[in-house]
Structure formats: C-alpha cells, structure tokens
Amino acid sequence: MTHALRFTEKDLRRLAGARSFERGLGYLSAVTRLEVGDEAITATVDGTDAYEVELTEDEDSGLTGWCDCPYGREGNFCKHCVAVGLTVLGQAGSVPGQRSAAATRTRLLNGWLESRTREELLALVREQLADDRDLRRRLELRAAAAGEDTGVVRERVLHLLDTRPFARYGYVEYTDAHAYGRQAAEAVTALRALTASGRAPDAVEVAREALRALGRAYGEIDDSDGLIGDLTAELAEAHLEACRAARPDPVETAEWLVRYLLDEVSDATDIDLFDYRDVLGDPGLARARTLVVAAWRADPKGWAEKYLMERLLKTDGDAVDALVEIRAADLDPNGRTHLVIARELEAAGRADEAMEWAERGLRETVAEWGPDSDLVAFVCERHQRAGRPADVVAVRRRLLRARPSLAAYQHLRTAASAAGTWESSERTGALEVLKATARPERDRWYGGSVLVDALLDDNDLQAAWQAATDGYADQRQWLALADRIRDRRPADALAVYLRWIEPLRRQTGDATYERLTELLLSARACHRTLGTQAEFAAYLAALRADQKRKRKLMALLDRHGL
C-alpha cells in the first residue's frame, strides 16, 4: 500500500538534535542517487566520504535512519540522514507516485523471477558472481557448509576472520571495522549452517579455531560501537549450539574450555563455563573443577584464575569461606579487596566478621592515596547504624592524622558535629594537625596549606587571614581570602590584589592579561568601597602607560572599561 510521507521537518530536528540538523542543511546539494522505494528511502551523501543513507517509516516506531558514517554507525540520526530527509520533504508531492512505481517494479521483478527456468536463474546468479567477489565468497562458504568438505569451510571461516585485508598500519581502524564485521558475520552464519546440516561435530572443531582467531584479532580492532563485541558473542553462542547438538566427549570438552578461558584470547567472548553445564554433565564438570582449582593454586593472583574459581564456588552454592580465601590471596593496597570480602561476609549474615575485615582494611592500607573511600564509608555506616557515633569520629580522626586533606577535615567535621563534639574538642585538634603538616613560607605561588583551605571552608576568615599572614597561604588562597573579605575589609583585600598584580606586569600572554584584568577589576571594586576612585584612576593610568606596547592587554582593558 502506497502512502505519503508521515514525517515532518520537526521530526528530523527532534531525531537529530539542533546541531546535527543545522549541519544537515549544508549537505542538501550533496544528496545523490535518491530512491524512494515502497519500504525505504535510500540515497548517497557526499561528505568526507560517500556515505550510504537509508530512512524507513514505521507506523509504530515512526521515522528511523541509518548511515554508514562514523557518527551514524553509533546509532545516531546524523546530518546525512537530515539532508536526505529534507530532500525528500522538498519533493513530498511526488512521493506517493514514486512509491507506487517502486511497488510495481517489485511485483514485476518477482513475477519475472518466478517465471524463469532453473537454468535461466542459474545463469543469472553466475553472471552476478562473476562481478561480485563478496557475493561469491559468501555463496562459496554456504555451499561448503551444506556439502561434505569441512576443510573448505574451515579455510573460508578463518579467512573471513583475518583482519589483515582491513588493517592499515597493522590495526583495523573504526572506519574499517564495520566492513570487517559484515565479513566476519558470514563465518558465524557458516558455523550455524554446519550444525543445521547435521555436521555439528565439525562445527565444534571449526568454532574452536574461530574463537581463538577472533580473540587474537579483537585487540587489533577499534570496536568503539561494539559491533565486533556483539559478533564475538554470536560466535560463542554458535559454538555452544554446536556442542549441544554434537554432544562431544564431556571430559575433553571441559579440558578445552578451561584452557581457552585461562588464555587471554577468551577476553573478547565472555564465555561462561557453566553455560555448558548440560554439555559437560557430571563428568565434565568434575574435570573442570579439578583443572580450575589446580590453575588457581598455581597462580592465585591471576585474574582469569581468580574469576573462574569464584564462578566455580558460587555455582556450587554456599562457599563464603573459600571465596574469602581466594580474595585474601591477593589484597589490593587500598583496601578494596577487604571491602569485597566484608560485603560477602555481611551478605552471608556474618556481620561481625565483615566488620573485622573492613577495619583490617583501614589498618593495612599501604597506598599513599589512602584507603578506598567506599571501604571507609562502609565502616562508618556500620558504626553509625549500631549507635556508635564516637567510633565514626575516631575513624575519621585517624584518617585525617594519617593523610591530612581538606576532604578528611570535612568528613571529620561532619562526624564530630553529628556526635556533638566538633566545637568542644575535635576542631582544635584537627586544626593543630593541619598546622603541623605545613611549614610557613611567605609569598609562595603554589603549594598552599590545607590549614588555610579548612579555615576558609569553616568561614573562619579571621583565623584564615592570620594563617595566611603567618605564611601558610599560596597565591590562590590569598586571592580567595581577599575575595571573601573585600566587602568588610576592602583595604586589606586591596593590598592583596596589588601585591599579585605587580609580578604580572613583567609577564606576557593571553592568560596573564586576563588574570591581570580580573585583579584590576577587583582592585577597582575595593577603591569604590573605600571612596578612593581618584587614587585608582591614577594607578591605572600609570599602569597603562607602562604597559602600552601590549596591544592585546590594552584591548582587554578597554573592553572592561579600565
């Protein structure tokens, strides 16, 4: 049934977004080979490359678009789709006639094909095979899969998974990954055809080689849109389907699976050993368990070994102690593994042991950046739930003393305020810790103390000013302090601004000019509060005379009315 267009310019703008829609306007003249079919609209758009675009309309989902440009392959309605959509809207009146003509052509073609003899159809196919190498390879593979020569199937499957024809500089770039994926998908189709034709044992053997081949190739492909990742999952599923149909020796299959899963080439496929439970049966599962345990004991820190061991234990049911043993063999230096163990124990109803492991993680942290923040939160939350706010304060106090930082100070302040001990005792001690961690050093450009940041965070501006005066502040902190006190103590703030303006007068560069302008604006605000605008005008005139050769600076000052 033919019909007029169901989409509007508003739909194109909604699907593409404002930016892509506006960019699409610039490609209207680049649309060529536009064809309005009875089911889809296709066209070529000349951009960085010649991109193929297809628009389809569905009564339920509305308008959808596909383009083989990089942005379009990610599933976006790109500027090329916009250009084609707008071009079609420009000739909307002729669309029903074009669709009717397309439907007529389709009926005529189908009728003509159905009227051909077998010999005529074979001649037509052979004619196409002579001109289309890709079609020839696909049909050769399907013929081999339907025949008796497994060697040909194996050779063609591995050829389809070979990245070398697509790899420039030894790597399959994003723009070539889609073409490689289309070719490799034929390998999956062939394996499934082998299984469907009653040759599942052959499919198992070829699939094993294909899994390894694709696993090795995966690291050489830019798979930003996940296309090849999806393909590897389909290949793994085809292998499992073949195993279920062939019922290979369960022990030998278990041995192959474990070897494969311990090899880094398996990372691409995410095969789960226990998806093969029905294939392996009790004998195969028993052999797999033996091999996994042996592999883990030989290398308890190996990622694959640990993962398989954990899967084995979880599949076997309640095995918390064994899982703890596995993870305890390779503890992260920041306590993250301690937290994983604590959560396992807590989920098993062993809260006291969970807390012991979590607190042990806090004690044993050796990473210089401190314990994992989630581990600290876990311990503090459990103390809080148990009605032990003093213990939360104690944890936060230890962390501040071990690694003083503004965040540690803020966490301690929050915990002690909740416990009612911040102002009475904790704050004084915390500030002493921060004061002891930094040596006073006047007029430094960077490396200010946590002490000044903490006092500013407390809004204790008087104490922050004193700490800065004592040498604990860097330039950033001095200026932040000046901004905070400017309305109440304009003279003190002005002295800070002028002090940091002076070294900038000897420097050049856009960033310097912007910073100098900001400081002058702040100085002007102080003079206005003090009622000394004339003094600022004289200062600014002298500065402009001294800096007049810096044309960019002069233009910037003019722009801000300075």
Beta bridge partners of 50: 46
CA gap 253, 258 in Å, rounded: 9
What is the b/e burial string over 160-185, where b = at least 16 CB atoms within 10 angstroms of the residue's CB?
bbebeebbeeeebeebbbbebbebbb
* Closest to 171 measured CA to CA, from 220, 228, 218, 226: 220
Give the domain extent around 93: 9-115
Residue 337 lies in a domain: yes
Q: Which of 30-34, 161-165, 530-534 is predicted least confidently?
A: 161-165
Q: Report residue 148's pLDDT band, with 50, 70 and 90 as the boundaries.
A: low
CATH code: domain of residue 372: 1.20.58
| Sign of the CA dihedral running 108, 109, 114, 115 | positive
Assess contact for 160 and 212: CB atoms under 8 A: no
The reply to whether 430 falls in a domain is: no
Percent above pLDDT 70 for the chain: 95
Q: What is the mean pLDDT of residues 252-259?
A: 94
Bigger pLDDT: 516 vs 315:
516
At 387, the pLDDT band (50, 70, 90 cuts) reads very high
Among residues 362, 387, 412, which one ends one of the domains? 387
Residue 300 lies in a domain: no
Does 499 have pLDDT greater than 50? yes
How many domains does the chain contain in total? 3
The pTM of this model reads: 0.53
Look up residue 45 and give its DSSP letter. E
Quote the mean pLDDT of the chain: 87
Compute CA distances 19 → 7, 79, 84, 150, 560, whole Å: 19, 9, 16, 52, 32
Is residue 220 a part of any domain in this protein?
Answer: no
326 in any annotated domain: no
Domain boundary among 356, 387, 418: 387
Q: Which carries the bigger pLDDT value, residue 543 or residue 268?
A: 543
Of 65-74, 301-310, 351-360, 432-441, where does the model show the most confidence? 351-360
Instruction: Give the residue from 115, 136, 160 where a domain finishes.
Output: 115
Q: Which residue has the higher pLDDT, 354 or 59?
A: 354
Report yes or no on 108 lying in a domain.
yes
Q: Name the least confident of 172-186, 310-324, 411-425, 484-498.
A: 310-324
pLDDT at 81: 94
pLDDT average, residue stretch 364-369: 79
pLDDT at 402 over 80: yes
Give yes or no for residue 70 having a pLDDT over 80. no
Q: How confident is the model at residue 221 (pLDDT cuts 50, 70, 90)?
A: confident
In the predicted model, is pLDDT for residue 365 greater than 50?
A: yes
- Any domain includes 407: no
Instruction: Tell me the per-residue pLDDT of 415-454, one tens digit each, with 9 for 90 and over.
Output: 999 999 999 889 999 999 999 887 766 656 667 789 999 9
Q: Does 525 map to a domain?
A: yes
